[in-house]
Amino acid sequence: MSRAHVNLDDAAWMCDAAGGAGYADHANARRVFSALSKGAMPPDGAWSPDWLATYQAWMDSGFHP
């Protein structure tokens, strides 16, 4: 995932509240969620609706690690 500058194993990167990438806040986590929702990642297959709902709930609850 480093080719896409995505650091999924870095909680500080995922929870960074900085803006950018077309999002007002938490751009890194929202960018990852957008790619997951479109099925663009991970390369081994799309996430299930349950996994996406869990990710959405994490974002909705404030992006806490």
Confidence check: pLDDT of 5 > 80 = no
In a domain, 65, yes or no: no
Return the higher-pLDDT residue of 41 and 5. Answer: 41
Structural domain contains residue 39: yes
60 alpha-carbon distance from chain centroid: 12
Handedness of CA 24, 64, 55, 10 (dihedral sign): positive
Query: Please, which residues have CB within 8 angstroms of residue 36's CB and are 6 or more apart in sequence?
Result: 42, 46, 47, 51, 52, 55
7 found inside a domain: yes
The answer to the question of residue 11 being in a domain is yes
pLDDT at 51: 95
Cβ–Cβ under 8 Å, residues 32 and 6: yes
Residue 46 lies in a domain: yes
Where does the pLDDT of residue 58 fall: very low under 50, low under 70, confident under 90, or very high at 90 and above? very high
> Each residue of 6-51: pLDDT tens digit?
778 888 888 888 755 555 678 888 888 999 999 988 888 899 999 9
Let me know if residue 8 belongs to a domain: yes
Overall number of domains in the chain: 1
Domain with 47 in it: 2-60
